[in-house]
Chains A and B, each alone.
Chain A
Amino acid sequence: MLSHIARRLLQAIPTLWLIATLTFVLLHLAPGGPFDSEKSLSPEARANLEAHYGLDLPLHQQYFVYLKNIIRGDLGPCYTFTGWSVDEIIAQSFPVSLELGALSLLIALGFGIPLGITAALRHGKPTETALMGVAMVGICLPTFVLGPILLLVFSSGLGWFNPLGWSVPGDRVLPSLTLGLFYGAYIARLTRSGMLDTLQNDYIRTARAKGLREGLVVLRHGLRNALYPVVAYLGPAVAGLISGSFIVETIFFIPGLGMFFVNSAFNRDYTLVMGTVLFYAVLIIFFNLLVDLVQMWMNPRTRHD
């Protein structure tokens, strides 16, 4: 178990190095520098700025300086928000995104799993068709359509929530729903098919034969295996939540990391873009490892040493 974790962590190093290198190369191939938008900049001021940030060094030296810094956990200064480092911006804005993501994931699981179980237990009946129809609609409503529609209905229509911001608890509702419902719909589909597969097993028949209550059969014996594909999906789901947060944070003006990332792409803020991408990569790798461990805990057959 421990050696497995260690191996996975070691495997992450070349992946991270490759991603760091790719982002570095891509952004330096890009036309235009970080100071292009300020037209009034005199050549001297520009040269000073570039010297200050080390942009006048030969490219390979910039690369090594960059690699050395990220190993120490220093993602460099931020060009567009002067006086801030990339680390500080991430530390400021990530908790907001984390809260949004966690709430969305809770909504997704809270909606998806009960819906999927219900559909599986009503297999072949109209309830199943109706529930899966709802799930299909949820899958086809992407965040950037759902978000404005929810705003239209619940904010400008009914006036229940603020249209933007992230200050009072009520501000959490619409963004988390927007981000969570798609994954809820997908998880409902996964739970349903997992449950249908599981309920066909012999041990379920045994459990029923020995007179266990149906609820206990489904929840204790069925659910554990039925949820296996759902847990496997959590890895990609978190990656998706991250990209979804770009949109949701833009729609609802939430000062999270996603908004900073999109803005930094607009502004060609090299270090902020690279830092955020690396940060996301670490996050995703870490989360995938976590999902892996949960899977091993759930199904001993996948424990390999």
Chain B
Amino acid sequence: MTKEKREQAASTAHSLGSDAWERLRNNRMAKIGGLFFTAITLLCLLGPLVIPHSYETTDLAYGAQPPNAVHWFGTDDLGRDVLVRTLIGGRISIGVGFAATLVALIIGVTYGMIAGYRGGRTESLMMRFVDTLYALPFTIIVILLTVLIEGGNIFLIFMAIGAVEWLTMARIVRGQTKALRKLNFIDAARVNGVGYLRILWRHILPNLIGPVIVYTTLTIPAVILLESVISFLGLGVQPPMSSWGTLIHSGSLKIDVYPWQLIFPALFFSLTIFSLNFMGDGLRDALDPKDAQS
């Protein structure tokens, strides 16, 4: 008991950010997931620089070969190295994951904070709009948006995904802001004549950090998944560029003959999603104990 109390006292001495960091480091699940994800990301970033094969040079005479000493993951039917293509695809998938999550984060936090802090009719109107979009699955909205965007421009695709994934973030932030708004220190700030934006920025935002971090970590795998679904359906990233979704799609068309073209990208993809979800769940246990059960 006394040890716990001492720990509590010690943790209150830290800032919110370092406290969260501390708890994250002590959570085994989050740590394993985080390490794994970092390893995959580094592999995707650095691997293609080291491996002496190109991801786009075709060699039709060589064709599709099973994994061997030269090409560890084999080659596809155009003679391209599957390992390099998987790693390059990972760059795109993970890159889209981060970029779209950032878009979702910015929109969601801003929207949710304003709705929650304003309250009243503004809030109910704003949240009504969110509810309406919520009535449709994200995939349908993103497919609609990709119909708008011709040529599979990845920049626009991640904008589209980000423009959809902010909804849940907005809901969480709004709920949190509503609770914070009633606290004394916000009243104190207001009485002291602190401006509207400054209250949001200096007093509300720092207190949202916990749930926002948790939800951001859970958004990244959701975004990667959504991008892959869209690319798998052929509506996302277009050749010669490839993400894991397109690689898995082309692999799935040839599973009878060249199963390695499916297995390796699918393995990388699933491990990434697995480690990110692991990290997100661990973070939720660490930062948001009331949800720890599920």
Binding site for B on A (CB under 8 A): 14-15, 18-19, 23, 26-27, 29-32, 136-137, 139-142, 144-145, 147-149, 151-152, 156, 189-190, 193, 196-197, 229, 239-240, 242-243, 246-247, 250-251, 261-262, 265-266, 268, 273, 277, 280-281, 284-285, 288
With A15-B132, A26-B148, A144-B228 known as contacts, the answer to whether A265 contacts B137 (CB < 8 A) is no
A27 to B249, CA, bound (A): 27
> Which of B139, B146, B232, B256 contacts A156, CB < 8 Å?
B256
Contact partners of A140 in chain B: CB under 8 A: 270, 273-274, 277
| A251 and B252 contact, CB distance less than 8 A | yes
Inter-chain residue pair count (beta carbon < 8 A): 123
Query: Looking at chain A's contact residues, is the secondary structure mostly helix, strand, loop, or mixed?
Result: helix
| B270 and A15 contact, CB distance less than 8 A | no
B98 to chain A, nearest CB (A): 19
- Given A144-B245, A145-B266, A193-B293, 8 other A-B contacts at CB below 8 A? A19-B132, A19-B135, A26-B148, A136-B277, A144-B232, A239-B137, A250-B233, A284-B137
Contact with A along B257-294 (1 / 0, CB 8 A): 00100100010011001100110000000000000011
| A268 and B262 contact, CB distance less than 8 A | no
Nearest A residue (CB) for B272: A140
> Which of A145, A156, A284 contacts B135, CB < 8 Å?
A284
A141 to B274, CA, bound (A): 9
A31 to B261, CA, bound (A): 34
| B139 and A246 contact, CB distance less than 8 A | yes
Contact partners of B131 in chain A: CB under 8 A: 15
Nearest A residue (CB) for B266: A145
With A23-B144, A140-B273 known as contacts, the answer to whether A18 contacts B132 (CB < 8 A) is yes
* B209 on the A face (CB < 8 A): no
Q: List 27 A-B contacts (CB under 8 A).
A: A18-B132, A19-B135, A23-B144, A26-B145, A30-B148, A136-B274, A137-B274, A140-B273, A140-B277, A142-B273, A145-B270, A148-B251, A148-B262, A152-B255, A152-B259, A189-B294, A239-B136, A239-B137, A242-B140, A250-B232, A262-B233, A265-B143, A265-B146, A277-B136, A277-B144, A281-B135, A284-B135
